[in-house]
A and B are shown apart, each in its own frame.
Chain A
Amino acid sequence: MSRSYIEKIAQRLGIIPNLDRDNARGAISQLRSFPSYEEWEGHTELDANEWPKKVEKNYSLVPTTCFNCESACGLLAYVDKETGQVTKFEGNPHHPGSRGRNCAKGPATINQINDTERILFPMRRTGKRGSGEWERISWEDALDEISLKIRESLKSGAKDRVVYHVGRPGHEGYANRILKSWGVDGHNSHTNICSSGARTGYALWQRHDRPSPDHSNAKVILLSSSHLETGHYFNPHAQRILEGMMDGAKLIVIDPRLSNTASMADHWLPTWPGSEPALFLAWAKIILDMGLYDLEFIEKWVNWEMWLENDHPEAEKSVEVFIELLKNEYKDYTPEFAAEECKIPVEQVIETGEVVARAGSRLCTHVWRSASIGNLGGWQVSRTLHLLNVLTGSVGTEGGTSPNSWSKFKPELFDVPPDPDGWNELHFPPEYTLSHYEMSHILPHLIKDGRGSMDVYFTRVFNPVWTYPDGFSWMEMLQNENAVGCHIALSPTWNETAFFADYVLPMGHASERHDVNSYATSSGKWVAFRQPVLREFARREGREVEFTHEVNPGEVWEEDEFWNELSWRIDDGTMGIREHFMSPYREGEKITIDEYYQYIFERVPGLSEAAEKEGVDELGYMRKHGAFLIEEATYKKHEEEGWPTPSGKQEFFSTTMVEFGYPEHSIPHYKIKSHVHPENLTGEDEFCLLPNFRLPQHIHSRSANSKWLSEIAHRNPIWIHPSDAAKLGVEEGDLLKIETEIGWFIDKIWVTEGIKPGVIGCSHHIGRWRRKQDQGNRYMTNEVEIEEIGDGKMRMRTVEGVRPWLSEDPDTNRIWWRDGGVHQNITHAVQPDPISGAHCWLQKVKLSIPGEDEKYGDIVVDRVKSFRYYKEWNLWARQRETHPRGERRPLWMNRPLPPKKENWFIEESG
């Protein structure tokens, strides 16, 4: 930069400082994306803030995986060699799933690491549960005290009173192995408010309970989901969906709401919630009528003969006859029928049906949650969606939809303790014979109903008080020391559930823990390693670390090491637990975390060879690269393995449904109408609330301490169509009272053409809170007051919205938003589907103008009503409870942490 004479002279005279700089040279080659692998242990960058002054910073790049959703996308942590701290996260180009790219939540991880309010030390409560009084304790004390409580419970002989309830596992089988070593049927999860509905539909067909669409190679991508903005597996799928689309694939999106995904679609079908099976069956009929089915696949791989035997015993046992009979079976699923049920134009049903029908073997379909978890009978959605893949012959094909298990690597563990010898009826109550995963969302209700209690309860990255329906019932349960003897919250941050714990133990985030990951993000099979990056950095610098909490901020630890140490202490030498924690490499010694993972990685096909080439062991390879591609593509595995069902085929006809008391559901049909079917919404003021759509930049209740994510999204107004707003006499920004079956909340409205009339929407993630005595997440939390107002009713009022505060981070004082939204979830009634067990998220609501003293953010819930309502839904399951051969549930179907065989049978009474 040439400077004026005046400036040169003024600088020479010292009137102004000398700001002459070396001119920037600019790039010397074509711009690259990532530092090459050889540079990772010594990478130099110029300080962005000092620029155009050239100040060099030296980094050691350590790979790990993101912990913000289940995709476990690759991250590269930039460890500043001078300060020994992580300064930012970029993508890991070696990760076969994410391929170097991330969604907003990936780079935002640095906010979560540096959160000024994160929990840094183990805490134990000093006041009553929920009083917000805490004291710091040592890990030693935490381990000693908790292990004693577990020992006590185990010694009583109980197999189901020590429970680990997990939100985001983020690992493969670690915790399950621990629970087995303790001998308890003690695994509970969140699946039942997430994907149980969809899983049930898929599992009925093929036991594999999740789809893995091969988007990049698709001709048609049919999403009953919003995978371009959220969900499993958002980033990796979005990449490949767009690849497919740029290559000519057509995107069809089914959603009553204009999601970002729907806005990218070639065809957006805003179906009435719950009507989707009608649509899919109409399309199945189109495929059959147009003759565009894959007869070969059907003949060989579908159990059509069993249907014929059962329903048409006199018919000829040929696949052609099957097709004819099937056409007749589905004759009423006309486009007109679908259009009527779905409330979309019949032309659209036909047009998109033909698009789907012509997809042939390149039909990608996906439902994970959405309609399958929203509606009563939602499991029909995935069952009928998968039917389309079966008919078009796109199961397991290139460009088609495979079972996720084909591309998911299952690690071999160094020690596998025996299956638990018990059956936890709080998790798998007898009346829910077909529930997929545990009946987690009615845990408080079952306990209130006197069906059991827990001695030790771990909530792990799990926030039911906030995320789950009827959170006040959770609060009630957690505050009852007879229901929950000891509650330990394992979490990187404070959350509404941790407020009601006895111990809050800080566990590390993406760059602060060990995990092995493998997910079906495409047809390829990969394995990735999440590691405490500062531990790896220390190792690179030649320093040994025994426990991860030595390198993490404060004394933040990780579950892996915590579980090992805890398990060791539970065992007083007589309980046989320690023998499951012995090193496979050093006789008679306790296993270390490194050994645990070395054992797994030694057994990853192809990894040993790759490691040898680089002169490292398998663990060393994963520490350096972070991920490894095991198989490029995993198509058509059924041709070697068959299908893991009783018939060995895709079960069009389900003997299981017949045997377990649901003969009307023997084959895919649309026989159950949603609880929010228009028939059930008769009043002028009755609407369907869509309460669980997600945002691209948040993840449940884990992202509230990221300032960059919170700044983008922090409020959740009610999406309402202008015609509905007009009918109700409200305008943009006005308040509405939304009444559910058990309570109500007051929210502002967002008038939009992006939602189906008759349906209103309110986003998930938002409406976080803390009471006066609570801490944490102030970027997103409102300060609230909770009180009992008599007759079992609870009220929450917002005292103050989000406010700036002073801290070491100047950004906390720059918060420019005040609105932290409204906690709608707590007003939702639990609605357990009697067949899949899934919580049906959609709520039937009444809308009205709030009263005089009903303010924005007000919430009232009637716990008496919510219990009664649970009993009503529970009755539906009891009424059809059937146990063929005394089986509690189908023996061939999956369940997490399956107990020993004997426990699978219900004892006959008397």
Chain B
Amino acid sequence: MTHVPEEQKAVPVLTGRARLRSAMVPRANRRQLLAGVLCAVLGFGAVTQAQSRDEASVLQTARQSDLIQILDAQSQLAERLEDELADLQEARDAFSSDGDQQLLAIDQALQRREVLGVLAGTLPARGPGVSVTIADPDNVVTATRILGTIQELRNAGAEAIQVNDVRVVATTYFVDAEDGLVVDGTPVSAPYRIVAIGEASTLETAMGIPGGVVDTFATDGLRAAVAAEIEVVIDSLRVAEAPEYARPAADS
């Protein structure tokens, strides 16, 4: 690799400066071109390497003690973050189980709302049942008779009842009026059509027992037409009102 072969060391004709000066004169001969190309390769490689060092992380050139410090800091950081992660996961689990319970509660509440809605008359209902139709052209039916019919239907297990367009609920009242009845403040006039949802055959039988509803109307000279149906629809609704005085008593 050394460029100083022993036998050529003799007879330096020119001084170093002069040779450098003469070398600086551009001559496009093969010797200078080759040297130029190789020097270009060197410059390219050096710059590339230098820049790749810039990009490379400082870790590669860091001393051992520095590396230990950095590693220590990193592991402490990791520990802290893991703690944080555990906390957050706990919180998330708590929230999600809360959410599950809330969903369950909402589900149950919705079911209860449906059940209670049918009972309280805030939801329409459909199902098997009977319809009782009383023509009453002479307006002789009294509130007592209709109330009796309703009671009889309830005894037979009717779950939802409506009289003409009025839903019958726990607070429903029947009052005689000039031309018909007043049910829950709504005038209702003949012909009366009472629809009840329940087990159709039981309801029909209950209407027809001796001394029962049909018989009673018959003594008034009226005909109560009872029809069991596979599906009846009760679509009149009531607005549920919060009780003014009654408060739920806590379970003992």
- Tell whether A and B belong to one assembly: no
Interface residues of A (CB under 8 A from B): none
